[in-house]
Amino acid sequence: MKIEDRNSPPVSVIIPCRNEERFIGTCLDSIIANDYPKDKLEVVVVDGRSEDTTRAILENYAHDFPFIRVVDNPKKITPAALNIGIESTRHDIIIRMDAHACVEKDYISRSVTCLEKYGADNVGGIMKTLHREEGLLDKAISICLSHPFGVGNSYFRIHTHEPRWVDTVFGGCYRRDVFRRIGRFNENLPRGQDMEFNLRLKKAGGKTLLVPDIVSYYYARSDWRSFLKHNWGNGMWAILPFLYSEVMPVSWRHLIPLAFVVALLGALAVAVVNPLGIGIFLTIAGAYLLANVLASAQVARRERDGRFFWIMPLVFASLHFSYGLGSLWGVIKVLKNWFIKDRR
């Protein structure tokens, strides 16, 4: 399924980056190791004025590999980096990569081949979540982020066995014409800009394809504080895009933790005035606990390590509650914003 080198179309790779001294080298090394002809490749790393040694690392790579360039992102946020990258690149096929990720050696060639073969507007692959450290908690968090009970039907995370049309993918390989038709990434969205863009693409009749043979690896945040903070932020930014987008900016699965948390809090509120609320609360909490325990048991059996039976319930619950509470805070901010607008 690989395009012959002489027929390979030129490809631009964009990498938003800021303070990634730990991972950017691994990311670039994986691109350098790719089997795509380097004379048909340009890699543009858009640096958000990093405050660590990232910029020095990037300049060394740019010096050693002429197809790598570094450009500045004064706004520092990811959607601005993507838009700057689109403006800075030359080729008609654009691949977005993440500085936290590395890719298989055929990632670029398979992406380009599938873009042509299936007539897609955007092609991506599965993301295998890796833990940054070797502790039990680190591994439990990476498992949670790639398990259906943790992340629902996010196919690029939980994987699929055959190509399928989806709402969004991790990264993505686009035709430049897509950005002429749909516009650029929404710079009001520091997070979730990929999802919102791909849903705009879908609404306009565009197609996004997930191909399981296209493989990337993502180093997830795996210390407890970062995990909770990141999930809270993700939950909040599952709601805030409603302020800045003309389409439904998330999939329904992103709203399930919010519904869960609101249902529990609502049941407790009812319980203050009616004992029926206690029964509702216990029913919801009990059903969740049962599902959590069953998913954790499945993980422990798969990993052949009984310790996961005890730690996974806490990790799953931490993901769902921090995300759901973040979404609830997002709802409060959205309602506040709409109220202020109405008052004006």
Q: Are residues 261 and 153 located together in one domain of the fold?
A: no
243 domain-assigned: no
What is the phi/psi pair of residue 91, to 5°?
A: -95, 165
Where a domain ends, among 201, 222, 243?
222
228 domain-assigned: no
284 domain-assigned: yes
DSSP states along 221-249 = --SHHHHHHHHHHHHHTTTGGGGT-SS--
DSSP states along 70-100 = EEE-TT-SHHHHHHHHHHH--SSEEEE--TT
Is residue 331 helix, strand or coil?
helix
Strand partners of residue 43: 13, 68
Beta strand 41-47 pairing with 11-17:
parallel
Q: Are residues 139 and 23 located together in one domain of the fold?
A: yes
Where a domain ends, among 222, 243, 266?
222
What is the phi/psi pair of residue 94, to 5°?
A: -125, 125
**Burial class for 274, CB neighbours closer than 10 Å (0-12, 13-18, 19+):** exposed
pLDDT (0 to 100) of residue 134: 83
Q: Are residues 197 and 332 located together in one domain of the fold?
A: no
Q: Are residues 128 and 261 located together in one domain of the fold?
A: no
Q: Are residues 42 and 186 located together in one domain of the fold?
A: yes
233 domain-assigned: no
238 domain-assigned: no
244 domain-assigned: no
Q: Are residues 80 and 205 located together in one domain of the fold?
A: yes
pLDDT (0 to 100) of residue 82: 98
- The pTM is what? 0.89
Q: Are residues 154 and 295 located together in one domain of the fold?
A: no
- pLDDT one-digit tens code per residue, 161-212: 899 999 999 999 999 999 999 999 999 999 999 999 999 999 999 999 999 9
- pLDDT one-digit tens code per residue, 323-332: 999 999 999 9
Where a domain ends, among 169, 200, 222?
222
pLDDT (0 to 100) of residue 144: 95
| 175/329 Cα distance (integer angstroms) | 36
pLDDT (0 to 100) of residue 340: 77
Task: Tally the domains of the chain.
Answer: 2
Range of the domain at 102: 5-222
278 domain-assigned: yes
Q: Are residues 142 and 276 located together in one domain of the fold?
A: no
- List of the chain residues with pLDDT < 50: 1
247 domain-assigned: no
Residues 6+ apart with CB under 8 A from 182: 197, 200, 201, 204, 206
Q: Are residues 295 and 147 located together in one domain of the fold?
A: no
How many CA atoms, within 13 angstroms, populate the side-chain half-sphere of residue 142? Answer: 19
Q: Are residues 257 and 216 located together in one domain of the fold?
A: no
